Amino acid sequence: MMQALAGLTLFDGPASLIAACVAVFLVGLSKGGLGGAFALLGVPILSLTMSPVQAAALLLPVLLTMDAVGLWTWRGWFDRATLQHLLPGAALGIGIGWLTAAYTPESVVRLLVGVVALGFIARLVLTRGAGPAATKGQSPARGTFWGGIAGFTSFVAHAGGPPFQVYTLPLKLDPRLYTGTSVVFFAVVNVVKLVPYAALGQFTAATLTSALVMLPLAVISTLMGAAVVKRMRAEVFYPVMYVMVAIVGIKLVYDGLNALMTG
């Protein structure tokens, strides 16, 4: 069976298949609503056995399947105002990412996103002594800015989570509303990314077949993540999310610096 897979997919042995299963499972838990820390492990784990470009291209069809499952699972749970403020900027950010794809080092993008995420957490920690953090309201200007950053970093490095969270976490939405809004936002972003990814020649027959093999696991892991989030109270959900943002920030800064120093 492994021989047949090797001839049709990017999985040239048991190690690459196991790495793909682990990556897809962790990303699925994240897409179900458990935050971006797991999602950031997807491309690095796959990159242990294939090139980062192949890993990112393989994940996009899988992400679209997870988005479909997430949209069904969280149907009716989304904040319209948040999406209206974020999505136009995200489309612009994806366009900029497409135009600058050949000139933008992924390591620099990861480093910058990591610094933004850690700065957000540092500000939160430093202001805790002044009392509970105030809930921020909607802002078209902030939404367009952070939506643009999320669209750009999602296109270049599949790292759109931290910029999205910088805008949405201070809104302090109901956990289910927050998760549903996140699902809709990234579902739209991933669909829009299909066009430039295809134009850049990222989708080969082997890539698409590899993604097809991973689809059952993608569905199961996404449903598992959603089941956990639906049982979490807000006072548990938000501390978990902030910890996830901190972990993502550390991981991105480490990856970016490591790539710059060894590249």
Residue 156, Cβ density class (10 Å: 0-12 exposed, 13-18 middle, ≥19 buried): buried
pLDDT digits (tens, 9 = 90+) for 162-179: 889 889 989 989 888 998
Residue ranges in the chain whose pLDDT is less than 50: 130-132
Which pLDDT score, from 0 to 100, does residue 130 have?
45
* Number of domains the chain is built from: 1
Which pLDDT score, from 0 to 100, does residue 220 have?
94
Evaluate if pTM is beyond 0.85: no
Which pLDDT score, from 0 to 100, does residue 181 have?
94
- SS3 category, 35: coil
Which pLDDT score, from 0 to 100, does residue 116 have?
79
Domain that holds residue 95: 2-262
**Helical packing angle, 80-99 and 140-157, nearest 10°:** 50
* Opening angle at CA 40, ends 255 and 116, nearest 5: 65
User: How far, in Å, CA of 15 to CA of 20, rounded?
Assistant: 9
- What end-to-end distance do the CA atoms of the chain give, in Å? 37
Q: Which two tokens stand for residue 138?
A: 């909607």
Cβ(71)–Cβ(184) under 8 Å?
yes
